[in-house]
Amino acid sequence: MSFWAEVLAGFLGNIFAGVVLVALYVGIQWFLAATDITIQYSWSFDGPPDASRNLRPNFNIRNRSRSKTYYLANIAYLKDKQPAAAFDNKAVWGRELKPGTIDFVDGAPITSIHSLSDALALDVQVRLQNGRTFWLKGQGPGKMHMGIIQRLAFWLRKISDFGSIPLE
C-alpha cells in the first residue's frame, strides 16, 4: 500500500470508530430514558363503595434514574382515545419525582365516574412536565402499556440491575 492509501484507511477507520461510539452512547442514553420511570395504578374509594363521586386512582411511580429529577404535570382519563373525564391537573401538578425514589400518588376523585366498572374501562395517561406521556391500560389494576421494544429494554434493565452493572 502506498503512503496515501494507508493514511486514507487510517482516517476512515477512525471516522467509523467514532460513529460507532457515538451510536453506542446515543443507544445507551435512549435505553436509560426509556426505562427510568415505571407507573402502576389502582382504584380506591373515599367512602362507601356504592356512593357516587368517590373513585380515585392511586399511582405507584418509581423513578429508577440515579441522576434525573422529573415533575408530574397532569392525568388524563380516556375511553376509546377520547376524553372521558376532566383532566386532573391539581392533584399531581409539580409533584417532584427525585432520583431513585418510589412515590405513592393519590389522584383527585373523578366526578363523572360513578361505578368501578366504569373506572376499569378507562385508559389513564400520566404526563410529565417535559411532555413525556405514560399510557396505562384499564381493565383492573393498571400497568404501563409497552411495545415489544420497550418491554425488551425493561428486561435488559432488569438484568443489568440484577448484575449490578451501573450504566449511569
* Residue at 74: amino acid letter: N
Lowest mean pLDDT among 24-38, 89-103, 106-120, 135-149: 135-149
Q: Count the neighbouring beta carbons within 10 Å of the beta carbon of residue 97.
A: 21
Per-residue pLDDT at 49: 58
Answer whether 60's CB lies under 8 Å from 39's CB.
yes
| 22 vs 17: CA distance, rounded Å | 9
pLDDT class of 9 with cuts at 50, 70, 90: very high
Q: What is the pLDDT of residues 59-82, one digit of tens each?
A: 889 898 888 899 999 998 888 888
Confidence check: pLDDT of 165 > 70? no
Distances (CA, A) of 97 to 28, 55, 89, 141: 22, 24, 16, 22
Whether 2 has a pLDDT exceeding 70, the answer reads yes
- Which domains does the chain possess? 35-162 (2.60.40)
HSE-CB for 51 with a 13 A CA cutoff? 11
What pLDDT, in 10s, does the model give residues 49-58? 565 557 888 8
